[in-house]
Each structure stands twice: as structure tokens, then as C-alpha cells.
Amino acid sequence: MLSSLRVPVELLRLPVVGRHSRKSSCAFRGTLRASILRGTDQNIHPMDKSLTPQAFASNNLNRSLGDRREAEFLHTAFPHAHFVIVSGSKVMVSRDAMVKLRWLEARELQSLQYGPSGVGTIQHSQSEALSPYLLGKEDSTWRMVLEADEKLLSSMESSAHELVDLRSLMPVLPMEELAVAGHAVALSNWHKSHVFCGKCGSRTEPIEAGGKRQCLADPAHREYPRTDPVAIMLVESVDGEHALLGRPRSLKRRGPVLTCLSGFIEQGESIEEAVAREVREEAGVDVESVHILGSQPWPIGRGGSCELMIGCMAKAKSDALHMDDTEMDDVRWISKADVKKALERSSAADNPLTGEHEEQHQDLDFFVPPPWAIAHHLVKIWAEQQSAWFPAKL
């Protein structure tokens, strides 16, 4: 049985958020959150529920911008631009009363002797040209990301700000800023990995303020920033009282973590088909129903890629397990009672995914992911459901 993502009717009456003000964007998000949160009410049928907004998914910037196509866009936008600095997976943040993104204004770059140097680049007289990439617009301010070189980093040395790994910022940055930081890292990393054309091997260059890359040998060859779709699913047992959780071998070094099964969606494959295939491959379990609940951008994906995690519930046909031990380190059924206990300590300091793992003195031998991962919310929304997620067959 296939199922689709249900949108609360209130959202159908809302205006499209594009060039609206920040105030209207915030009002939209507030209505969205309120509508989705009502899906956690026990009076709502499970098949009508959806996930709350996820980390990396609250970006308020206006991305629907045609200005970027203009040849002199950077020269025109530069005086009104603010830049977030990244280096690999690290983002520059200020450490005042609270952690927040460190936005570098155009005048600050000019004071460091950086300015527009060519079409789509800025440069210091003693360093190579840097390519800023457009993230969006906030009111009249252009927001861009700039992959810093050693010259710029040394010029900005200060105790008031520092480069911090994006993963470490998940629990401390406000949701809106975390979403922008995730976009900045993902976009910058994509450009670094597509310096050469995937069709002919010639060099490429960014165009349209980083919206795509153009092959220098063939104008028909263009590359676009990509997102890899991943299906992530909580599988409910036949009796509706247990959840199927596992630990891939890639997570073994992180300690006793159990999470939802997941895998990339293949070409020509639907989300529902990917869920069924991955569960069968990793745990040897066939599923008969799939319910799509929501999604989460994941800019810190495997190999530096940007992934879109599509969260699902699935119903097992049988509870018999046949784990693929070449891919998985552990797969097991966990009772709803134990899932609730694990959720209570998912943000604890001894969770391997939140801090340094130490010897446990708990009545459970596993942790579940912390609240900034979609897996946590799949586990949570299932555990809070008093009855089985999927209706019993007549």
C-alpha cells in the first residue's frame, strides 16, 4: 500500500513566501510549526501526522532571484552584501553572549583590501581570486558564502570569532542560522568537488553567482548543485509494539548507537520502493506499508555530499531478522518502553553522538540519535503513539 505526505489544510491558504519580508516569513514558519505540531495530538490518526521542522530546514533567505544572471551582478551587489566565511566543513561564528554566524560586511572586506576583481570573483592584491556564492537575500542585503584562503583567515584572526565544524554547531546555533550555515557549507563543498566537467574533463567555472558551473570547453556542458535523496525509515513490528533499529558498520566506531535504517534512493526508484529494498537488504525484513512523514536537508552527508533525508514509517510483514553483516553491525527489535527510555537520554553527555562516550551506568545498552537528527524524530513520534502506527488488518 502506497501513501502520500498529507499537508495540513491551513497551509493551502497561506501566501507563497518568496520576496515577502522577514516578518511575513517568520509568521509563515510559525503557522507551519503550529499546524505540524497539531499532528502529534493523540486524537490525530497516525497516517495524518507529519514531523516537526527539522534542523537545517528553516532557511528564511529569499532564493528566488533572477538578478544573479546579470553579468555585473557581483559588482552591483558587493556594496550591499554580507559574507559568511567557511573552510571545508567549518563555519565562522561569533562568540558573544550566544553563538551566531559571523557575517563579514563588504566594507570589512574592503578594509582587508579585498574587492571585486573580475566577473564573479573578489581578490586581494597578494592572493588568488575567491569566488563568492549567493545564498539568498534578506530584505535589501545579499547573503553570500566565501570559502576563505589562508590570506583572508590570517587577516581575520581574533578571539571574538572562530571557525567551528558545522556538526558541532547543530545544538547551539538558532535554527534559521543553522539552515543558512548548512546551505553555505554544502554549496561551497559542491563547487570544490566540481572543478572539472563531468562530461569531458575540462575545467569549469562558477556562473550566476554560484548557481551552476560552466564547462570552459563546451557551452552545452553545465553542472548544477546536487542533493542526494536518502530514505530513512522506522519499521514497526507486526504487533505494533517494537521498532526496528540498527547500527551500520560505519557507526561502529561511535559506540553503542542504534538508529533508523536508511539508504540512498536509486535511479528510477520511488521512495516507497527504496524503503522496502533497504529494509530487506539490511535486515532481511519485508514491509507492506510505507508512510512518508517529512524530510531533512543534511549538508554533512557521506563524502562531503549534501543529502535529503526523507523520513518514513514502514510496517513489517514478519519479525524474523536476517541481518546483512557486511553492511550492518547490529539490527534488533526494540520495545516501545525501551525506546522511550532511550529518548529521555538522547541528549546526554555520554551519548557518542553528542559528546565523549564514557562507560555507561544505565539500564540500556544503546543510545538513539539526538534531537537534531531526523532519526530521533521518527523514533519519537512513533514512541508517543499509544497504539500501533498502522491499523490492524481486519
326-355 pLDDT tens trace: 999 999 999 999 999 999 888 665 566 665
What DSSP element (H or E) covers 151?
helix 150-155
Instruction: Note whether 67-223 and 227-383 share their fold.
Output: yes
Cα-Cα-Cα-Cα torsion 357, 361, 366, 370, nearest 10 degrees, comes to: -60
> Distance (Å, rounded) from C-alpha 87 to C-alpha 187?
12
Give the pLDDT confidence score for residue 43 in this predicted structure. Answer: 59
Highest mean pLDDT among 113-117, 149-153, 255-259, 335-339: 335-339
Compute and round to an integer the Cα radius of gyration of the chain. Answer: 23
Highest mean pLDDT among 1-10, 80-89, 338-347, 384-393: 80-89
Phi (first) and psi of residue 167, to 5 degrees:
-60, -40
Q: What are the tens digits of pLDDT across the range 225-271?
A: 999 999 999 999 999 999 999 999 988 777 789 999 999 999 999 99
pLDDT grade for 82, boundaries at 50, 70 and 90: very high
* Residue 65 vs residue 105, higher pLDDT: 105
Model confidence at 148: pLDDT above 90: no
> Distance (Å, rounded) from C-alpha 46 to C-alpha 49?
5
Give the pLDDT confidence score for residue 95 in this predicted structure. Answer: 80
Minimum mean pLDDT range among 21-25, 105-109, 350-354: 21-25
Give the pLDDT confidence score for residue 236 in this predicted structure. Answer: 98
Model confidence at 321: pLDDT above 80: yes
Give the pLDDT confidence score for residue 27 in this predicted structure. Answer: 42
What is the rounded average pLDDT of the residues 20-43? 42
> Distance (Å, rounded) from C-alpha 176 to C-alpha 136?
13
pLDDT grade for 324, boundaries at 50, 70 and 90: very high
Question: How many Cβ atoms sit within 10 Å of the Cβ of residue 276?
Answer: 21
Q: What are the tens digits of pLDDT across the range 166-209?
A: 999 999 999 999 999 999 999 999 999 999 999 999 999 999 99
What is the rounded average pLDDT of the residues 143-152? 90
Minimum mean pLDDT range among 166-175, 281-290, 291-300, 351-360: 351-360
> Distance (Å, rounded) from C-alpha 38 to C-alpha 42?
9
Domain spans in the chain, listed from the N-terminal domain onward: 67-223, 227-383
The contacts of residue 2 (CB under 8 Å, 6+ apart) are: 270, 272, 290
Q: What are the tens digits of pLDDT across the range 299-312?
A: 999 888 999 999 99
> Distance (Å, rounded) from C-alpha 241 to C-alpha 333?
9
What is the rounded average pLDDT of the residues 28-33? 39
Model confidence at 31: pLDDT above 70: no
CATH for the stretch 227-383: 3.90.79.10
What is the fold of 67-223? Nucleoside Triphosphate Pyrophosphohydrolase (3.90.79)
The model's pTM is 0.83
